[in-house]
A and B are shown apart, each in its own frame.
Chain A
Amino acid sequence: MGEALEPDRLGGDSIAASEPEVPRGPDLPGPFAVGRYARKLQEEMRRRARVLLIGEVTGVGRSKVQAYFELRDGEGAVPCAIWLDDLEKAGLPDGALRDGAEVVIAGGPDYYPGGGQASPSFSFRATHVRLAGEGDLLARLEALRKQLGVEGLFELQKQLRRPRLPKTIGVVTAESGAARRDLLAGLERRGWRGTVVWAFAPVQDRHAAPAISAAIQELAAQPRVEAIVVTRGGGSLADLWAFCDETLCRTVAMLRVPVISAVGHERDSTLIDDVAAVACSTPTHAAEAAVPLDCGVARIDLERSLAALCRAAEGSVRGRTPHLVALARGPARALRRERLSLNQKTREIRAASERGVTERLGFQRRLATVVLERARLRALGAEMQRRRAALHRAAVALRAHEPERTLERGYALVEDSEGEPVTDTAAAAAAERVRLRFADGKVEATIGVEQPADADLGEQDRR
């Protein structure tokens, strides 16, 4: 459209040819008589393509011959006029062409050059008008939805962290209406008794979208408001159209406070549902989304946690008490063990010195025996000697299998008080007191069973 308004084209050859050229000031064609220029402008305008426009009607007025209004949406507006004849032919219901109505008009741009007294004006000359149907609105909604989706505006709110237990919730809704009541009931059912900050706004007419936008922004500016619910009851898409407003939806998308939308009923899908952090089908659901935590359940969980903590604290002490007691007894037991071992050693030393005397006597006796034996063997003869040697070999072989032989190599045999061998740890633990049989005698011993101590505590104890 812009190019048509360029002076070059408007003051084109046809005009320039019939007027004398008087170059003054900037080097441009003209000056032209304004009235002729105005009519030329009108011609240019009327030559433009006829189109369909969709938008919201505002500022409806009537003269004797025509109705005029502005058709606008979030991005801009066009002044429109329609002859009353044409309006009548359109067959709209009475009062349908009113502020806030969403309409589709057919026509093209026109310019009224004015007259001696009348002011000139630009308007879009509508020849047909009809109320926008679901189809028109849906087509527009889809285009908007695609646009905002491409810009990534649907994701921003969803990335916000929503507090599970907000203390203050902002709500944008109509002052009177079921939505307000339902939301409150939903919050109370959650066991939530925090603060609700109401920002009432019209939810259906041409003032709705800017008012809702402003309310949301004001709520978001309050540092205490942790989530914002936007809600209204069901209606036709035209009724809910304010919630598809591009400016409103862009505002919501950019907010740092999560917005929960509950507009219309389940089947209604407005654009605010797409940009909001959460879209709910009813105000009751919105209450649950705003306070994800069921406070009643949370209280029970908390009591359970406290009980678990108490149990753990008591259990950890009670479980360790026997071990602590055992450890406390430790030093005394070690002393007793030392004393016992000392006594044993004393006895052994005494026994060894006695044995020394006995062994010397024994040695002399064995020496004498060997000498006598040799004499005797010599007397018995060679055959006897061979038999004795074989017997001796057998005896040696046999002895190798006797436990005493093993003991001589430094091993010890563990016996219980009955003299039965103790062969495993369980038996040892059961016996408590045992005898260690060495090659040279027996020693009493006490089994100190290592309790399955807490490793951590054990370490600390050593530190």
Chain B
Amino acid sequence: MSANEQEQSTRVEFDSYEDAVERLEQIIDRLDSGQAGLRETLALCREGRELVTYCAGELDAVGAGLKELKLDELAEKLADETR
């Protein structure tokens, strides 16, 4: 396996919390099976850590404090951000 291929196989690709958790569960199942070789185990652990970091970030994003906006306030906020 070339370094490039390895990078591709371990690149974390997901776009939602549920995708990330699903992949994480697959990884842990694979590790628990004891069938993964050393190289695969380490790659899976690295990917798993990235997934955990991502998921924790997502949870933190909805953990800071409940924000209430009115619709026009949201629209204003978005306009400010794109400015």
Contacts and interface: CB of A to CB of B under 8 A. Distances in A.
Asked whether A and B interact, the reply is yes
Interface of A: 163-165, 167-168, 170, 184, 187-188, 191-200, 215, 218-219, 222, 224, 291, 293, 295, 298-299, 301-302, 305-306, 308-310, 312-313, 316-317, 320, 454, 456-457, 460
B48 A305 contact: yes
A170 B75 CA distance: 12
A313 B42 contact: yes
Given A165-B62, A460-B39, A305 B28 contact: yes
Contacts of A310: 45
B67 interface: yes
B66 interface: yes
Contacts of B63: 191, 193, 295
A184 B62 contact: no
A163 B78 CA distance: 21
Nearest to A166: B62
Given A165-B59, A305-B24, A312-B45, A222 B75 contact: yes
Interface in B8-31: 16-18, 21, 24-25, 27-28, 31
Q: Which residue, A192, A195, A218, has most C-beta atoms of chain B within 10 A?
A: A195
Interface residues on B, range: 35 or more
A15 B38 CA distance: 102
Given A165-B58, A193-B67, A306-B52, 12 more contacts: A193-B66, A195-B67, A195-B69, A196-B69, A198-B71, A222-B71, A305-B52, A308-B28, A312-B31, A454-B37, A460-B38, A460-B39
Contacts of A170: 71
B66 A298 contact: no
A107 to B, nearest CB: 43
B38 A313 contact: no
26 contacts: A163-B16, A163-B18, A165-B62, A192-B66, A193-B64, A193-B65, A193-B67, A195-B67, A195-B68, A195-B74, A197-B70, A198-B68, A215-B71, A291-B62, A306-B49, A308-B32, A309-B45, A309-B48, A310-B45, A312-B28, A312-B45, A313-B41, A313-B45, A317-B38, A457-B37, A457-B38
A164 B71 CA distance: 22
Q: Could you tell me the dominant secondary structure of chain B's interface residues?
A: helix
A215 B49 CA distance: 41
Interface of B: 16-18, 21, 24-25, 27-28, 31-32, 36-42, 44-45, 48-49, 52, 55-56, 58-59, 61-71, 74-75, 78
Contacts of B28: 305, 308-309, 312
A434 to B, nearest CB: 34
B40 to A, nearest CB: 8
B29 to A, nearest CB: 10
Nearest to A317: B38
Closest 10 CB pairs of A and B: A456-B37, A194-B62, A312-B31, A313-B45, A316-B41, A165-B17, A309-B48, A195-B67, A164-B18, A199-B71
A193 B60 CA distance: 9
B59 A295 contact: yes
Given A167-B61, A188-B66, A299-B59, A218 B17 contact: no
A219 B70 CA distance: 10
Contact of A224 (B17, B49, B58, B78): B78
A194 B74 CA distance: 13
B66 A184 contact: yes
A222 B66 contact: no
Nearest to A198: B70
Q: Which residue, A191, A194, A200, A219, has most C-beta atoms of chain B within 10 A?
A: A194
